[in-house]
Amino acid sequence: MRLTTKQVAKLIRFALKKRCKTLKVRMARGTAYGNIDIWAGDSSKGFTPEEKAALEFYGLPYCANCAGVSYEDREYWIKRMCQLDPEVEAYYLSLILQNRQ
């Protein structure tokens, strides 16, 4: 069963905020709807070492102050996050159960 874009954003936000509270995770809008944008807490200064470590833990590529998960790649990143962190997997399963109700 597939997650909605809002649920994917929630899951990625949950995973990243566990590692670093300052990261900003948002759904893209307009023609990019379905993509997830990840921004540095203070985007004018770029990612802090703590923010970079959170992204690197999951293997997410990033540039100076932003990262992203495309619509096409989000299933891969969800699977990877679930494999690396049992709490993320438990949260993922709870979202799947919400869809069935």
Per residue in 6-51, pLDDT tens? 999 999 999 999 999 999 999 998 888 989 999 998 877 899 999 9
What is the per-residue pLDDT for 100? 80
Dist. CA 21–CA 41, nearest whole Å: 9
What is the per-residue pLDDT for 1? 57
Residue 13 near residue 3 (C-beta atoms within 8 A)? no
For residue 78, what are the domain limits?
5-100
Q: What percent of the chain has pLDDT over 90?
A: 76
Q: How many domains does the chain have?
A: 1
At 81, the pLDDT band (50, 70, 90 cuts) reads: very high
What is the per-residue pLDDT for 19? 95
User: Which residues does 49 contact at the CB level (< 8 Å), separation at least 6?
Assistant: none
User: Which residues does 69 contact at the CB level (< 8 Å), separation at least 6?
Assistant: 8, 12, 35, 36, 38, 60, 77
What is the pLDDT averaged over residues 70-92?
A: 95
What is the per-residue pLDDT for 99? 81
For the chain, the average pLDDT equals 92
